[in-house]
Structure 1
Amino acid sequence: MSALSYDPLDVDFLADPYPAFAWLRENDPVHHHPKDDRAPAFWALSRFEHIWEAVRRPDLFSSAQGLTFFPDEIGQLGIPPTMVMLDPPVQTQLRSLIGRGFTPKRVTVLEDRIRDFVRARLDDMGRRWRDGMGVDLHEHFSSTIPTYVLAELFGIPLGDQEKFAPWVNALTQLQNDGFSLDPNGSATGAGALTAMAEMMEYFTAAIAHRRQNPTDDLLGALVAAEVTDENGTHRLSDWDILGFCFVVVAGGSDTTASLITHAVTLLGDAPEQRRLLLEDPSLISGSLIEFLRLESSVQGLARTTTAEVTIDGTTIPAGEKVMMLYAAGNRDPREFGETADALDVRREITRHLAFSSGPHFCIGTHLARLQARVALEELLARHPQVAVDAAAGTRHQSAFVRGWLSIPVTSL
């Protein structure tokens, strides 16, 4: 296999990126990808230790110039800039604000509601199956859970929650398609843009309402929050809050849904590992990182070097885009041993890149793990031999995320 096998915008590569990642780790761990007619030149790190160190050094690897190797990604998507595209100390202050909505204590109180919702979705799946209507694991189960949870977090009234799902889908489409095989492709689709406009209008009105009528939900907390900068202490603007809303939706919906779906597909290929979870459901919680390690929802994101930096004997100039290939690092035998490519639900993992690391460590980790744990506990208890047809499924075509659009259930 040649280095040319790593082409992040190639359909064949996206179908199974892991052989190319393995080649890079062993032969070209600080890879320079030349400019072509689809993307500018950039660098790519594939070994665990290199990525681990880089993402923990925002002073050398900055997020402020965007998280992809495409230029002007915020302009492409037409959304407010978010805290994931800021560096400390500003990023640290803003992160602490939104973090109040994602503390383990606050997240834990959602468990009963999430479990009730998951059971209702399983009831619906069972009815569809009995009626011969066809069941799609991702569409009818996995993707519905984070959409419901995000609506609850934001304090979306029950009567409005049906509106929330197409908004989440629209932002996911804009994010993934906008950073995909054609960065100018379906991200300009009228349907997605219309849904995004509706979402912005709805949240703008909700922000205005909460300024007059404080609430205890995440949106209310953002409205009430104060920040201190060079201009003194002040409240967040509507545009700032909209940016928070978008980063929570973009980062907390599709990635969590894909974790749930990937867990089912991985277990389908490893019946002995499924048996372990069925015999001891307490293993499910710990297995979630193993599922994410093998199938990282976020395959990689870029940083920009602020100064010349040398890694493993290769010098990267200042001002260069560097892809942190989390999915490659998460299968590095140097960190995870000779069985790095195999599923082991009992694997003891002390470090991983599934939620990144450092100042941009995923703020919604506790919530994502809660949703996935409850979903798998209930799904395996109700349908212990659930099976899907991955070959008939449809994936996102994105260099940055690995997830599903649909995957049919073949057995319940």
Structure 2
Amino acid sequence: MSTYDPFDPSFQADPYPAYRRLRDDDPVHRHDDPPFWALSRFADVWAAVRDPATFSSAQGLTFYPDEIGMLGLAPTMVMLDPPRHTRLRRLISHGFTPRRISALEDLLREFVRGRLDAMERKAADGEPVDLHRDFSSPLPTFALAHLLGVPAADRARFDPWVTALTTLQDDGFTIREGGAVEAVAEMFAYFSDVVAARRTDPVDDLISTLTRAEIDGERLTDWDILGFCFVMVAGGNDTTGNLISHGVALLDGHHAQREKLVADPSLIPNALLEFLRLEGSVQALARTTTRPVTLHGIEIPAGEKVMMVYGAANRDEREFGPTAGTLDISREIPRHLGFATGVHFCIGSHLAKLQARIALEELYARHPHAGVDLGNAKRISSPFTRGWATLPATHIQPPNEGTVHRVPADRDQ
């Protein structure tokens, strides 16, 4: 019988051999402590995630039995099932539109170029450059703060909030007092004040739009908006930053693929899907069965936590063929689970892809050989996500020392 231990540091360092064993030998895996089941084949995970009537999100998204109570929060949109989830998502989507996201392109590109300038200055001064801390991670913080109307003077407050939410997740939501919980409380207090201010004095930001959103006479409550802010800060920062960092790391391990992308930046949108497939920031999330389910001859009783192991499913040879574990930025990917699927398909996918595309366009336009030093990198420790704490950059050259300043094709012309 195969072993799936998401707490094991050696597993977290390289989960993919264990994922293969799960898919091949134990596709409906039973874990005893804590008790949960794990689905690892693409077809099984795809079908389950698209069946919220059977695999419910209403009991939380981890294998902890009282996750929502541990957090001390009311359920957010990602912890709701239809029909309530459907109505809430329609209202939020009314303000969080692709058009609103696309309008950020010039602002995000200017920010990315500023980060590259800062990295080059550090390189010129002989200081170490960290791709994740100096480049990938600050971008989603900036983007979300701008969207939510956080003034520039307050944006530094985002970092401890994101760190706190990561800490709560990685420690199993067991930290009930101290810095982490205080930081989460501070975030909610801050956005409560913002929501109240926008209801009486709206401006041109997403929160103002959400306070006015209305469909068939229904409007968002303050908690609905606060819950959305929580989801965006908790789920939109480190996932997007890690998408960028994972992409650079993957390409640095496949130089022919990197040269192909540098020569033709129009490949970046498809490459992002391949990065998500191979190294998804979200490795696994749970659902709870509402009825008994039989898969591969094994019955999962009602009321059981079931982990949807996206990281395993997205490398399933049954779906992606014999090269499923190999990077191919030109791969046709008609479906994948990098943004989940079904009713809980990631509402921030447009924003994540926009940021990552701009980041890679600008990085490789200046530094076509940009890479990372994996030997001195450090991953975060998490049973649910896969990402970086530090990721030293390589081949970031100071200005006037071989740096190529090219404008990405068909951009900013």
- Scaled by the length of structure 2, what TM-score is found? 0.92
Q: By how many angstroms is 1:159 displaced?
A: 2.7
Whether the aligned pair in 1 keeps the contact of 2:147 and 2:205 (CA below 8 Å) is yes
**Given the alignment, which residue of 371, 378, 391 partners 2:375?**
391
- Cα-to-partner distance string for 1:244-290 (whole Å, 9 max, x where unaligned): 11011112111000000000110111011001001111111110000
Q: Distance in 2 between matches of 1:72 and 1:317?
A: 18
Q: Distance in 1 between matches of 2:342 and 2:350?
A: 16
Q: Distance in 2 between matches of 1:162 and 1:293?
A: 31
Q: Distance in 1 between matches of 2:97 and 2:336?
A: 21
Task: Kindly tell me the number of residue pairs found equivalent between the two proteins.
Answer: 396
- Please tell me the residue identity of whatever aligns with 2:295: I
The corresponding residue for 2:402 is: none
2:170 corresponds to 1:177 = yes
The corresponding residue for 2:266 is: 282
* Cα distance change of structure 1 residues 236 and 105 upon mapping to structure 2, 3 Å threshold: closer
* Cα distance change of structure 1 residues 131 and 188 upon mapping to structure 2, 3 Å threshold: farther
Q: By how many angstroms is 1:234 displaced?
A: 5.5
Q: By how many angstroms is 1:189 displaced?
A: 6.6
The corresponding residue for 1:135 is: 129
Q: By how many angstroms is 1:221 displaced?
A: 2.2
Note the 1:298-317 alignment, pairs <5 A. 298-317=282-301
**Given the alignment, which residue of 185, 209, 222 partners 1:197?**
185
Q: By how many angstroms is 1:390 displaced?
A: 1.6
- Please tell me the residue identity of whatever aligns with 1:262: H
- Please tell me the residue identity of whatever aligns with 1:406: T
Structure 2: runs of 5+ lacking an equivalent: 397-413
- Please tell me the residue identity of whatever aligns with 2:338: A
Q: By how many angstroms is 1:188 displaced?
A: 4.7
2:356 corresponds to 1:372 = yes
Note the 1:61-76 alignment, pairs <5 A. 61-76=55-70
- Cα-to-partner distance string for 1:292-332 (whole Å, 9 max, x where unaligned): 10001110111011011111222111111111111101000
Whether the aligned pair in 2 keeps the contact of 1:388 and 1:407 (CA below 8 Å) is yes
Whether the aligned pair in 2 keeps the contact of 1:227 and 1:236 (CA below 8 Å) is no
Note the 1:336-375 alignment, pairs <5 A. 336-375=320-359
165-174 or 205-214: bigger deviation: 165-174
270-279 or 77-86: bigger deviation: 77-86
* Secondary structure of residue in 1 paired with 2:140: helix
Q: Distance in 2 between matches of 1:396 and 1:95?
A: 30
Q: Distance in 2 between matches of 1:221 and 1:71?
A: 35
191-200 or 343-352: bigger deviation: 191-200
Q: Distance in 2 between matches of 1:101 and 1:288?
A: 25
* Secondary structure of residue in 2 paired with 1:43: strand
The corresponding residue for 2:105 is: 111
Q: By how many angstroms is 1:227 displaced?
A: 7.0
**Given the alignment, which residue of 370, 373, 393 partners 1:409?**
393
Whether the aligned pair in 1 keeps the contact of 2:56 and 2:81 (CA below 8 Å) is yes
Q: Distance in 1 between matches of 2:288 and 2:5?
A: 20
**Given the alignment, which residue of 15, 30, 33 partners 2:31?**
33
The corresponding residue for 2:399 is: none
* Cα distance change of structure 1 residues 178 and 215 upon mapping to structure 2, 3 Å threshold: farther
The corresponding residue for 1:222 is: 210
* Cα distance change of structure 1 residues 346 and 268 upon mapping to structure 2, 3 Å threshold: same
* Secondary structure of residue in 1 paired with 2:126: coil
Q: By how many angstroms is 1:132 displaced?
A: 1.6
* Cα distance change of structure 1 residues 238 and 326 upon mapping to structure 2, 3 Å threshold: same
The corresponding residue for 2:404 is: none
Q: Distance in 2 between matches of 1:227 and 1:68?
A: 32
Structure 1: runs of 5+ lacking an equivalent: none
Whether the aligned pair in 2 keeps the contact of 1:102 and 1:367 (CA below 8 Å) is no
273-282 or 189-198: bigger deviation: 189-198
The corresponding residue for 1:3 is: 2
Whether the aligned pair in 2 keeps the contact of 1:299 and 1:401 (CA below 8 Å) is yes
* RMSD (Å) for aligned C-alpha atoms: 1.6
Q: Distance in 2 between matches of 1:147 and 1:29?
A: 37
The corresponding residue for 2:406 is: none
Q: Distance in 1 between matches of 2:135 and 2:354?
A: 15
- Scaled by the length of structure 1, what TM-score is found? 0.92
- Please tell me the residue identity of whatever aligns with 1:237: T
Q: Distance in 2 between matches of 1:78 and 1:222?
A: 24
Q: By how many angstroms is 1:375 displaced?
A: 0.3
The corresponding residue for 2:16 is: 18
Whether the aligned pair in 1 keeps the contact of 2:283 and 2:384 (CA below 8 Å) is yes
Whether the aligned pair in 1 keeps the contact of 2:59 and 2:67 (CA below 8 Å) is no
- Please tell me the residue identity of whatever aligns with 2:232: V
2:81 corresponds to 1:87 = yes
The corresponding residue for 1:124 is: 118
Whether the aligned pair in 2 keeps the contact of 1:80 and 1:242 (CA below 8 Å) is no
Q: Distance in 2 between matches of 1:42 and 1:362?
A: 24
Whether the aligned pair in 2 keeps the contact of 1:119 and 1:378 (CA below 8 Å) is yes
Whether the aligned pair in 1 keeps the contact of 2:22 and 2:40 (CA below 8 Å) is yes
- Please tell me the residue identity of whatever aligns with 2:187: M
* Secondary structure of residue in 2 paired with 1:100: helix
**Given the alignment, which residue of 254, 261, 266 partners 2:245?**
261
2:45 corresponds to 1:51 = yes
151-160 or 375-384: bigger deviation: 151-160
